[in-house]
């Protein structure tokens, strides 16, 4: 297993290389630059700005310089936020996103998986229809509708929670529900479907034939195996949820990293585009690695060599 993890970590190097090259080439090939504005600047001013941010160097040199900084954890200055470095932005904004992400993921996992189990165990019962109904709703309501709806009901009318902004545990509740609901719904449906598939397997029939109680069969024998597809989805979902949601952060005025994924492209803030993309790529690789490790725990038949 140790060897497996090391091997997967080494894979990060080519992944970062490929992702960084593609991102770098793409962002420099879209028209417009960081200093284009409605009020066109004189060329001399643009030249000064390009010189300040070394954008007048040949592209290959800009790339090499960036990557040399990257390996030393120096992600460069933000062009749009003059007094802040990209390191500052990640250090100040990412923890907020991570906290929201953890809370949302907890809702998704601890809400979604039990809902799926109940549905599977009581297939075609009222409980099944109810929890699948909830899941269907959760999947179909987009964040940009659910967020304002929760604000209207629970903040504006019932006054249980603040309308928006960040700062205390109570501020986390509504955005975490908004962000976590869709994930919860898809986890619930996936858990139910794979549980129902697993219960038809021979080893479950064997367990039943031996007289093991229904609940024990379901929770001990079926669930573990049924969680394999769930964890396959959960890994990339976790990477996504931990790198922020532009929409939820915007609706609730949360100082997270999500908006930088979008605004950095609009601003042509090259160092921020590179950093946010690479962080996401690394998160996806690490999460997929965790997923693969979890397979071995969930299903003893899986080996790592």
Partner 1 sequence: MKKVWLLGLILTLLIGVLAVGQVKTLYWNLGTEPPSLDPNTATDTTSIQVLQALFVGLTDFDDATMAVVPELAMHWEASEDGLTWTFYLRDDVYWTDGTPVTAQQVEYSVKRTLNPATGSSYAFVLWMIDGAEAYNTGEVESADGVGVKALGDYRVRFTLNQSAGYFPAIAGMWVCRPLPITVVEEYGDAWTNAENIVTNGAYKLGEWVHEDHMILYKSETFYDADKTNIHVVYCYMIEEASTAMTMYEAGDLDADENPPLEDMDRIKADPVLSAELHTAPDLCTYYYGFNNEKAPFDNPLVRKAFASAIDRQSLIDYILKGGQKPAQTFVCPGIFGYIDGVAEGIGYPYDPEVAKQFLADAGYPNGEGFPEVTLMHNTSEGHSKIAQFIGQSFMDTLNVTVNIVNQEWKVYLATCREDAPQIYRMGWCADYPDANNWVNEVFNSESGSNYANYNSPDFDALVEQAARESDPAVRLDLYRQAETLMCDTDAGIVPIYFYTMVKLTKPYVVRTYAALGGEHWEQWDILPH
Which residues contact partner 1 by CB under 8 A? Answer: 30-33, 35-45, 47-49, 51-53, 77, 80-84, 88-89, 92-93, 96, 148, 151-152, 155-156, 162-167, 250-253, 255-256, 259, 266, 268
For partner 1, give the closer residue by CB, 187 or 252.
252
Rounded least distance, CB 48 to partner 1, Å:
4
Torsion over CA: 268, 270, 274, 276 (sign): negative
For partner 1, give the closer residue by CB, 59 or 156.
156
Are residues 59 and 50 in contact, defined by beta-carbon separation less than 8 angstroms? no
Are residues 16 and 281 in contact, defined by beta-carbon separation less than 8 angstroms? yes
Angle between helices 169-198 and 126-140 (to 10 degrees): 120
Q: How far is CA 231 from CA 49, 193, 249, 296, 299, in A?
A: 47, 14, 26, 12, 12
Rounded least distance, CB 150 to partner 1, Å:
11
For partner 1, give the closer residue by CB, 41 or 297.
41
Rounded least distance, CB 163 to partner 1, Å:
5
Rounded least distance, CB 190 to partner 1, Å:
32
For partner 1, give the closer residue by CB, 88 or 292.
88
Q: Residue 23: which of 53, 58, 66, 81 has the closest Cα?
A: 66
The tokens of 89 are what?
């932005």
Rounded least distance, CB 257 to partner 1, Å:
9
Residue 257, classed as helix, strand or coil, is coil
Give the integer Cα–Cα distance in Å for 267 and 32: 9
For partner 1, give the closer residue by CB, 121 or 177.
177
């Amino acid at each position: 297993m140790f060897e497996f993890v090391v091997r997967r970590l080494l894979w990060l190097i080519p992944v970062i290389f490929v992702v960084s090259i593609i991102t770098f080439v793409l962002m420099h090939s879209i028209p417009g630059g960081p200093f284009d504005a409605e009020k066109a600047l004189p060329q001399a001013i643009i030249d000064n700005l390009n010189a300040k941010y070394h954008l007048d160097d040949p592209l290959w040199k800009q790339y090499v310089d960036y990557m040399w900084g990257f390996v030393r954890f120096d992600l460069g200055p933000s062009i749009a936020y003059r007094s802040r470095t990209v390191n500052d932005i990640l250090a100040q904004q990412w923890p907020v996103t991570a906290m929201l992400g953890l809370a949302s993921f907890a809702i998704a996992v601890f809400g979604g998986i039990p809902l799926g189990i109940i549905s599977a165990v009581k297939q075609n019962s009222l409980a099944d229809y109810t929890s699948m109904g909830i899941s269907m709703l959760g999947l179909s309501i987009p964040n940009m509708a659910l967020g304002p709806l929760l604000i209207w009901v629970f903040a504006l009318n019932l006054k249980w929670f603040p309308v928006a902004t960040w700062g205390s545990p109570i501020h986390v509740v509504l955005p975490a529900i908004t962000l976590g609901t869709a994930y919860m719904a898809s986890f619930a449906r996936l858990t139910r479907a794979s549980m129902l598939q697993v219960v038809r397997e021979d080893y479950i029939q064997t367990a039943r034939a031996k007289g093991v109680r229904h609940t024990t069969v379901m929770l001990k024998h079926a669930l573990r195996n049924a969680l394999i597809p769930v964890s396959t989805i959960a890994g990339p979902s976790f990477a996504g949820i931990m790198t922020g949601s532009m929409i939820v952060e915007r609706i609730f005025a949360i100082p997270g990293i999500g908006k930088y994924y979008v605004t950095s492209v609009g601003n042509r803030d090259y160092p921020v585009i590179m950093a946010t993309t690479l962080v996401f790529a690394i998160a996806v690789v690490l999460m997929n690695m965790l997923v693969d490790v979890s397979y071995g725990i969930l299903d003893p038949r899986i080996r790592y060599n």
